[in-house]
Chain A
């Protein structure tokens, strides 16, 4: 067995979410492999584009969906831009899933606070959808998302719909030039942590996005009384192998691809926020 070698997957659909964000819907060429494929939200795959390269991308489809595997990707560089041109019927390589996902079992019965920043952090959106599809299994749901520009909010109508659900609070903020069409807060979402309503003794927070944003959100949550073992972050670093061998994602004694990408704050707090690690 060669753990570096990808498997062939078919592109079922390439959905344009915004001019720079797209969702690739994939299925293994090999049927048995598709049936056997299991993952946890928060885990990621390595996607390979023929002749171009291989990159880590989170899985955003529902783990109960046996037929397709979705990845929402932002065009930023060589590989992601080239992948944006894929069409139904094309083939790419995939290996995975890798890493530790979100603690969803641990979250059952608890209030769930989801904090994301930057350009719609897909892995957290997959958790929102996961919780909403299984709404009765969880307590309150607090969705907090910060963006730079109003236009950066993808799946906007979904947020509007989520806001109407019972026991669900949606807190959105745009930090720059909010337009008249932006009914929510202008400024940083982390300034609004105090408006989140949850029971700190029975809650779990999951966040993903730029480290500075997560760093700003941590203190207020801990001050509210949330336990640092109930505060989970998805970390990102350069990755080449995804199997704990290449050393690129090393963070202290952790390989983010292996022990992470999702960590309880308690496990990484000595390094978190320290420049250069």
Chain B
């Protein structure tokens, strides 16, 4: 990560002052809370709202939080959502239509003033996913103005992962567990505080007010040891060449098996930080005069997603699963010059029947290998 200043040390005792400072600088501060048996990003005022001493236990089809005796705020990996709902909202009014006094049709785009938002606690995988969504919504032929303004208002305080979940495989996708891009500040939590790396001028100006001491050699040493351990703790992985290896697997038997397991619930696409599918819906107000065109998250696991000419192209679940997987892991590379997976493992934990995408890809690759013998 390119830093623009020497790293500082933020003792745990000063975390509250850091949060207070961000509010004083007119940021709405968002941070992780324990909520609904997971970790959710919500407005953060007090350090004791943070998931202090919590660890997340994740396995295929399982997510739960446990309280431990360790004394850290960020010794967990991730919850169901992080940044995606802040930039690409689950529901967004795109425009409105009404008829004026002369019964003429008029269109307008509603404007809502946005607050600067500081998000504390985002992970390497979240930031890698944000870079992909930036590519999708901001760098094509058409810029999405809603994503753009929400994105421009973000100030990102990232945290390097020290305790990946068993479902994490960001080391194999090259997206984590260290933060490499897109953050303003990167924190590494140690037993008594944080190493603070500063990577934007805005962050430098803000942090100067806290009058922190520079990080010491022993902090650096602990930091690098901890990061190494976080990499080594990851047991799942995905082949770097998966996009090529599975590119001829459209007729695989693997889809038949998955078609029987998958419930087509769409959980995986809802928690995926890179999935961008959405639908538009027309909604009237009570008097049926102001009509809003809404954009809502959609999923290629829904039947409507492929409806046309009175038929559903992907009526069978096996086709929907194949559409999702071949897009995310193979054709995505043609569109974005990288895979659509950042290794966060959310689709594994939040799948109600515990389908493990890393195992599915391994099966596809094995089948391709066997066929080439």
Contact = CB atoms under 8 A, between A and B. Distances in A.
A91 interface: yes
A275 B331 CA distance: 17
Nearest to B98: A50
Among B105, B107, B145, B322, the most chain A Cβ lie within 10 Å of the Cβ of B105
A258 B142 CA distance: 11
Interface string B235-275: 00000000000000010000000000000000000000000
Interface stretch (A122-130, A144-152, A182-190, A245-253): A245-253
A76 B217 CA distance: 72
Contacts of A250: 300, 323, 327
Contact of B105 (A50, A241, A243): A50
A73 B279 CA distance: 23
Contact of B277 (A7, A91, A237, A247): A247
Interface residues of A, number: 39
Interface string A249-270: 0101100001000000000000
Contact of A4 (B95, B106, B250, B318): B95
Contacts of A274: 250
B105 A1 contact: no
Contacts of B323: 250, 276-277
Contacts of A276: 313-314, 316, 318-319, 322-323
A258 B141 CA distance: 9
B310 A93 contact: no
A91 B298 contact: no
B142 A237 contact: no
Contact of B140 (A91, A238, A244): A244
Interface stretch (B3-11, B39-47, B69-77, B280-288): B280-288
Contacts of A2: 94-95, 109, 145
Interface residues on B, range: 35 or more
A77 to B, nearest CB: 8
Nearest to A7: B107
Given A76-B310, A248-B279, A276-B313, A50 B136 contact: no
Interface stretch (B57-65, B183-191, B301-309, B365-373): B301-309
A204 B291 CA distance: 45
Interface string A205-247: 0000000000000000000000000000000111011011111
Contacts, number: 123
Contacts of B279: 240, 246, 248
Interface in A16-61: 48, 50-54
B48 interface: no
Main secondary structure on chain A at its contact with chain B? loop
A245 B95 contact: no
Interface in B313-364: 313-314, 316, 318-319, 322-323, 327, 331-332, 334-335
A240 B95 CA distance: 14
B2 interface: no
B180 interface: no
B27 interface: no
B331 A252 contact: yes
Nearest to B109: A2
A1 B327 CA distance: 30
A148 to B, nearest CB: 14
B335 A253 contact: yes
B278 interface: yes
B142 A3 contact: yes
B205 interface: no
Given A51-B282, A237-B313, A92 B95 contact: no
Nearest to B305: A248
Contact of B107 (A5, A77, A247): A5
B104 interface: yes
Contacts of B305: 238, 247-248
Given A76-B310, A243-B142, A276-B322, A253 B331 contact: yes
A192 interface: no
Contacts of B22: none
A6 interface: yes
A238 B300 CA distance: 12
Contacts of A244: 140-142
Given A7-B107, A238-B305, 5 more contacts: A51-B97, A76-B310, A243-B140, A248-B305, A277-B313
Interface of B: 94-95, 97, 99, 104-109, 136-137, 140-145, 250, 276-280, 282, 284, 288, 291, 293, 295, 298, 300, 304-310, 313-314, 316, 318-319, 322-323, 327, 331-332, 334-335
23 contacts: A2-B109, A3-B144, A4-B293, A7-B107, A48-B293, A54-B293, A92-B105, A93-B97, A93-B105, A236-B309, A237-B313, A238-B307, A243-B140, A244-B140, A244-B141, A245-B142, A245-B144, A246-B278, A246-B280, A247-B278, A248-B279, A248-B306, A275-B319
